[in-house]
Protein backbone atom coordinates (compact mmCIF):
# COMPACT_ATOMS: atom_id res chain seq x y z
CA UNK A 1 0.00 0.00 0.00
CA UNK A 2 1.46 3.32 -1.06
CA UNK A 3 1.43 6.08 1.52
CA UNK A 4 0.18 9.55 0.71
CA UNK A 5 1.04 12.86 2.24
CA UNK A 6 -0.25 16.40 2.04
CA UNK A 7 1.73 19.61 2.36
CA UNK A 8 -0.81 22.43 2.19
CA UNK A 9 -0.94 25.72 4.08
CA UNK A 10 -3.79 28.22 4.10
CA UNK A 11 -3.34 31.50 5.96
CA UNK A 12 -5.53 34.58 6.33
CA UNK A 13 -3.71 37.37 8.10
CA UNK A 14 -2.15 40.80 7.87
CA UNK A 15 1.19 41.71 6.33
CA UNK A 16 3.81 42.60 8.91
CA UNK A 17 5.97 44.54 6.46
CA UNK A 18 5.97 45.68 2.84
CA UNK A 19 6.81 42.93 0.37
CA UNK A 20 10.27 42.99 -1.21
CA UNK A 21 10.99 41.68 -4.69
CA UNK A 22 14.47 40.64 -5.77
CA UNK A 23 15.66 38.79 -8.84
CA UNK A 24 17.79 35.66 -9.12
CA UNK A 25 20.84 35.75 -11.39
CA UNK A 26 18.62 34.09 -14.04
CA UNK A 27 16.14 37.00 -13.79
CA UNK A 28 13.37 35.17 -11.91
CA UNK A 29 11.40 37.38 -9.49
CA UNK A 30 11.25 36.32 -5.81
CA UNK A 31 8.86 38.28 -3.59
CA UNK A 32 9.11 37.86 0.19
CA UNK A 33 6.83 39.10 2.96
CA UNK A 34 5.58 38.11 6.41
CA UNK A 35 2.01 37.42 7.52
CA UNK A 36 0.70 37.65 11.09
CA UNK A 37 -2.15 35.39 12.20
CA UNK A 38 -3.88 35.70 15.57
CA UNK A 39 -5.42 33.13 17.86
CA UNK A 40 -7.70 34.07 20.75
CA UNK A 41 -8.87 31.87 23.60
CA UNK A 42 -10.28 32.09 27.10
CA UNK A 43 -7.94 30.94 29.86
CA UNK A 44 -9.60 28.14 31.84
CA UNK A 45 -8.08 29.13 35.19
CA UNK A 46 -8.28 32.93 35.15
CA UNK A 47 -11.25 33.35 32.82
CA UNK A 48 -9.32 36.05 30.93
CA UNK A 49 -9.17 36.28 27.17
CA UNK A 50 -5.67 35.73 25.79
CA UNK A 51 -4.31 36.35 22.34
CA UNK A 52 -1.31 34.95 20.53
CA UNK A 53 0.23 36.11 17.24
CA UNK A 54 2.15 33.76 14.94
CA UNK A 55 4.33 34.97 12.09
CA UNK A 56 4.91 33.17 8.80
CA UNK A 57 7.52 34.05 6.21
CA UNK A 58 6.10 33.82 2.68
CA UNK A 59 7.99 33.35 -0.59
CA UNK A 60 6.23 34.02 -3.90
CA UNK A 61 7.96 33.19 -7.18
CA UNK A 62 7.48 34.90 -10.57
CA UNK A 63 5.00 37.62 -9.45
CA UNK A 64 7.05 40.83 -9.39
CA UNK A 65 4.04 43.03 -10.17
CA UNK A 66 2.22 41.99 -6.98
CA UNK A 67 4.79 43.46 -4.58
CA UNK A 68 3.43 46.99 -5.10
CA UNK A 69 0.10 45.92 -3.60
CA UNK A 70 1.48 43.89 -0.69
CA UNK A 71 1.97 46.64 1.88
CA UNK A 72 2.19 46.51 5.65
CA UNK A 73 -1.19 46.00 7.33
CA UNK A 74 -3.07 44.68 4.27
CA UNK A 75 -5.12 41.54 4.81
CA UNK A 76 -4.22 38.61 2.54
CA UNK A 77 -5.19 35.03 1.85
CA UNK A 78 -2.16 32.84 1.17
CA UNK A 79 -2.27 29.26 -0.07
CA UNK A 80 0.86 27.20 -0.58
CA UNK A 81 3.17 24.62 0.93
CA UNK A 82 5.72 24.47 3.75
CA UNK A 83 9.37 24.27 2.84
CA UNK A 84 12.36 24.00 5.15
CA UNK A 85 15.80 24.94 3.92
CA UNK A 86 19.18 25.20 5.59
CA UNK A 87 22.15 27.51 5.22
CA UNK A 88 25.42 28.20 7.04
CA UNK A 89 25.50 31.47 8.98
CA UNK A 90 28.52 33.79 9.18
CA UNK A 91 30.01 31.65 11.98
CA UNK A 92 29.65 28.47 9.92
CA UNK A 93 26.76 27.14 12.03
CA UNK A 94 23.94 25.42 10.13
CA UNK A 95 20.65 27.32 10.39
CA UNK A 96 17.20 26.10 9.36
CA UNK A 97 14.34 28.21 8.07
CA UNK A 98 10.77 27.10 7.43
CA UNK A 99 8.68 29.25 5.11
CA UNK A 100 5.51 29.08 3.05
CA UNK A 101 6.04 28.85 -0.69
CA UNK A 102 2.91 30.57 -1.97
CA UNK A 103 0.94 29.25 -4.91
CA UNK A 104 -1.98 31.69 -4.58
CA UNK A 105 -2.13 35.11 -2.94
CA UNK A 106 -5.40 37.01 -2.73
CA UNK A 107 -5.53 40.59 -1.49
CA UNK A 108 -8.51 40.93 0.83
CA UNK A 109 -8.20 44.61 1.64
CA UNK A 110 -8.66 45.68 5.24
CA UNK A 111 -5.98 47.57 7.16
CA UNK A 112 -3.41 49.67 5.39
CA UNK A 113 -5.92 51.58 3.28
CA UNK A 114 -8.16 54.53 4.00
CA UNK A 115 -11.28 52.39 3.64
CA UNK A 116 -12.55 54.13 0.51
CA UNK A 117 -9.90 52.42 -1.56
CA UNK A 118 -11.02 48.97 -0.41
CA UNK A 119 -14.78 49.53 -0.37
CA UNK A 120 -16.61 47.49 -2.96
CA UNK A 121 -13.43 46.23 -4.57
CA UNK A 122 -13.24 42.58 -5.54
CA UNK A 123 -10.27 40.59 -4.16
CA UNK A 124 -7.28 40.49 -6.50
CA UNK A 125 -5.86 37.04 -7.07
CA UNK A 126 -2.44 36.28 -8.46
CA UNK A 127 -2.34 32.49 -8.95
CA UNK A 128 1.08 31.00 -9.51
CA UNK A 129 -0.23 27.67 -10.72
CA UNK A 130 -2.12 26.78 -13.89
CA UNK A 131 -5.64 28.22 -14.24
CA UNK A 132 -8.40 26.24 -12.59
CA UNK A 133 -11.41 24.95 -14.51
CA UNK A 134 -14.12 27.59 -14.93
CA UNK A 135 -16.60 25.76 -12.68
CA UNK A 136 -14.12 25.70 -9.78
CA UNK A 137 -12.91 29.28 -10.31
CA UNK A 138 -16.36 30.89 -10.10
CA UNK A 139 -17.51 31.51 -6.52
CA UNK A 140 -20.90 30.06 -5.66
CA UNK A 141 -23.43 32.71 -4.67
CA UNK A 142 -24.90 31.40 -1.44
CA UNK A 143 -26.00 34.75 -0.08
CA UNK A 144 -22.88 34.96 2.12
CA UNK A 145 -21.41 38.43 2.58
CA UNK A 146 -18.19 39.72 4.16
CA UNK A 147 -20.18 40.36 7.37
CA UNK A 148 -20.73 36.58 7.72
CA UNK A 149 -16.99 35.78 7.86
CA UNK A 150 -15.85 35.39 11.50
CA UNK A 151 -12.46 37.14 11.11
Q: Any idea which of 20-24, 85-89, 105-109, 144-148 has the lowest mean pLDDT?
A: 144-148
Judge whether residue 122 has pLDDT over 60: no
- Average pLDDT for the chain: 78
Domains, the chain, ordered by start: 9-39+49-128 (2.40.50.140)
Is the pLDDT at 104 greater than 70, yes or no? yes
CA 65 vs CA 8, 61, 103, 116, 121: distances in Å: 25, 11, 15, 23, 19
* 150 vs 89, residue with greater confidence: 89
Q: Tell me: pLDDT of 113 over 50.
A: no
Rounded CA gap, 107 and 8, in Å?
19
Average pLDDT over residues 88-109: 91
Q: Please give the span between the terminal C-alpha atoms of the chain, in angstroms, as a whole number.
A: 41
What's residue 145's pLDDT? 60
pLDDT at residue 76 is higher than 80: yes
Q: Give me the mean pLDDT over the 45-53 stretch.
A: 91
Instruction: Name the band, by pLDDT with cuts 50, 70 and 90, for residue 137.
Output: very low
**What gap in Å lies between CA 83 and CA 74, rounded to an integer?**
24
CA dihedral 137, 126, 79, 76 (to 10 degrees): -110
- pLDDT for the residue numbered 56: 95
47: left (phi over 0), alpha (psi -120 to 50) or beta: left
Say what the pLDDT of residue 139 is: 45
Closest among 15, 36, 8, 23 to 104, alpha carbons compared: 8
Cβ atoms 107, 127 nearer than 8 A: no
Strand, helix or coil for residue 136: helix
1 confidence band (pLDDT: 50, 70, 90): low
By 3-state DSSP, what share of the chain in percent is helix, strand and coil, each rounded to 5? Answer: 5, 45, 45
Residue-level pLDDT at 147: 56
Amino acid sequence: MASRSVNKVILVGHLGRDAETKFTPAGVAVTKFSVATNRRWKDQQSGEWKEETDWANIVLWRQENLANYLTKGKQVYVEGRLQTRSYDDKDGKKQYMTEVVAEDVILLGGRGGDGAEDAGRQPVSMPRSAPRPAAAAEPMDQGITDDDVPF
